[in-house]
Structure 1
Amino acid sequence: MPVVVVTDSSAALQPDLVERYGIRVVPLHVLSGDADFREGIDQVPADLAGVTTSAASQNELAETYAEALDSSGGCGVLAVHISRQLSGTWEAGRQAAQTFDGRVRIIDSQSTGMGLGYPVLEAARAASEGADLETVYRRSVDVASRGHCLIIVDRLDQLRRGGRIGTAAALLGTALAMKPVLHLVDGRLVLKEKTRTTTKAMSKMVDAAVAYAGLDRTAVAVHHMHAPHRAEAVAQQLNERIPQISDLVVTEFSAVIGAHVGVGAVGVVVCPEPVAHGDDGDSSTTLN
């Protein structure tokens, strides 16, 4: 049996890919009043204003890891999760994995959305080819290290309240009607550039994505929160300006991420592809 790959619902993977590769997806939680909605399982409220979110618990992760390990026939489990700077899920997973004697390995993707999804898919492809746990781990880490995630939001209030961005950056976003371009650095959401309009912010985000892509074959994802027209416009520009797009997907943010970025947010994930796969590689810079 192949290695089984586990992730969490913030990856926003397409259901057909989850099914094709047998990926196990642990739900994150949306909390509204006394109600606890498991993303991807329960019907999450359409209006996310005022809701809070919660990581997957250690027990939830341990149960999923145990089921995945059993399905692997003992070959092992690779769990790739949302950045530890954005959620407590990775830490809960690390604690849960300690009971499996090295047969469950954990990666902090230092990202979310398809910044998480691409290393998950790389791991799943490697597993489907019969790679052992160490090789699956290395290939996933390699792809995670290549990803770049950019985002623009209409307002920074929700990110500030949720602790996903510093107070100083949040104040900058309201000063003089600034529209900042944000990006993930070492898993943390920080300011990349400030602009005065949403149009300029989107243009700067596209420019940065094109620069990150370079001339290599590149997978690109455009995420949005109830802003399909903005997302399609960004996707069209990226498709025209990145010559070697190998995959382009446009999809909504997961509800858990959407609760923090707010309506109107648009994000881009750019992930240049590795030239070739190999079993050699230094995992000293691994993301866990």
Structure 2
Amino acid sequence: MPVALVTDSTASLPGAVAEARAITVVPLQVVIGATSYDEGVEGGATPEMLAEALREWTPVSTSRPNPEEMLEVYERLAVEGATEIVSVHLSADLSGTFESAQLAARRAPVPVHALDSRQVGLGTGFAVLAAADARDAGGTGAEIAEAARTRARATTSLFYVDTLEYLRRGGRMGAAAALLGSALAVKPILRVEAGRIGPFERVRTSGKALGRLEELAVEAAGDAAVEVAVAHLASPDRATTLAEKLGVRLADGLEGREVAVGEIGAVLGAHVGPGMVAVCVAQRGARSVPVEGAAPESSEENAG
């Protein structure tokens, strides 16, 4: 294991996939009522627990892993034989997880390439899987980090929410925008752009919103080879229907790959609420190009 891969639980990688690809997943925490749970571990918070808590207006909050927890992971991987580590995380504009990775990287016993994917959820997950491909092909730490960065830049993440209230509560959406959406009784489609969540379109019904997600995903894919995933919180039927339609329309670009469908974890779910449906389209083999409006490159490597 000359180069080890690390990500966080918001990347939404199934446990079997992370294990098969030798990816270490660091959990974030969700607090439901007075109890704190790790995400993505046995006995931790589940999407079902979260959805029920949100419906019942039970207080819910989330927290990042602290730098000491990240450092323990890096030190363990070094003991197990890693000579470099690539650590890929959700957007620093949405969480302090990347900052924890940066701080831990400075004290790690081996070089750590800490990378802000500028994405969230499956957008980060696709970047990590691209890094795994580059590692398995024999890439150096720097090359593996660049593969993750390139895939993240070539990824479009869009989602529909029944209400903007949960994003407002969590500080991921301005109060004015949330109130405007509620006052107009619109169904918002949002987009992750330059690491931030912002309004993209407004439609009048949930049916139209899901139809627009389908069209926007097809536009994002273009004629490229793609990986596509659909995520949801407490909305499996709508997510499955969308995935089936995209599987047909994007069959050529998928090249035999399936459109993955899954429920997002409790940490992301706390900020979007029940009824959310997201689609993530990652172009394969894309060149590394700057993202318009993006912040300066957010990565850090320690000296070992």
Q: Give the TM interval when normalised to the shorter protein.
A: over 0.9
Write the mapping of 1:100-249 to structure 2, written as runs, cut at 5 A.
100=108, 103-242=111-250, 243-246=252-255, 247=257, 248-249=259-260
Percentage identity across paired residues of the two chains: 37
TM-fit CA distance, 1:286:
4.4
- Which residue does the alignment assign to 1:52? 61
Q: RMSD between aligned alpha carbons? A: 2.0
Distance 1:80 1:175, change over 3 A: same
Quick check: 1:3 aligned with 2:3? yes
Q: CA offset at residue 39 of structure 1?
A: 0.7
2:302 matched to which residue of 1? none
Q: Does 1:265 align with 2:273?
A: no
User: C-alpha displacement at 1:172, in angstroms?
Assistant: 2.4
Q: 3-state DSSP class of the match of 1:121?
A: helix
CA distance in 2, matches of 1:164, 1:156: 10
Residue 9 of structure 1 deviates from its aligned partner by 0.3
Contact 2:90–2:120 under 8 Å retained in 1: yes
Residues 1:253 and 2:254 are matched in the alignment: no
Find 1:66's aligned residue among 59, 63, 75. Answer: 75
Count of residue correspondences? 283
2:92 matched to 1:81?
A: no
Call closer, same or farther: CA 1:275–1:11 in 2, change over 3 Å.
closer
Deviates more, 1:180-189 or 1:48-57: 48-57
Gap regions ≥5 residues in structure 1: none
Q: Is the 8 A contact 2:28 2:64 kept in 1?
A: yes
Which moved further from structure 2: 37-46 or 202-211?
37-46
Q: What CA deviation, in whole Å up to 9, does each residue of 1:125-179 have, x standing for no partner?
A: 2222322111111111111111110010111111101011122221222122111
Q: Which runs of 5+ in 2 are unaligned?
A: 300-304
Letter in 2 for 1:235: A
2:157–2:191: 8 Å Cα contact kept in structure 1? yes
Please say if residues 118 and 194 of structure 2, whose CA atoms lie closer than 8 Å, have aligned partners that are also in contact.
yes
Instruction: Name the TM-score, length of structure 2 as normaliser.
Output: 0.88
2: distance between equivalents of 1:215 and 1:53?
38
Q: Look up the SS of the partner of 1:31 in the other structure.
A: strand
Distance 2:82 2:7 in 1: 19
In the TM superposition, residue 210 of structure 1 has moved relative to its aligned partner by: 0.8
TM-score (norm: length of structure 1) = 0.92
Aligned residue in 1 for 2:103: 95
The amino acid that maps onto 1:16 is: A
Distance in structure 2 (CA, Å) of the matches to 1:92 and 1:218: 31
The 1:64/1:101 distance shift into structure 2, 3 A limit, reads closer
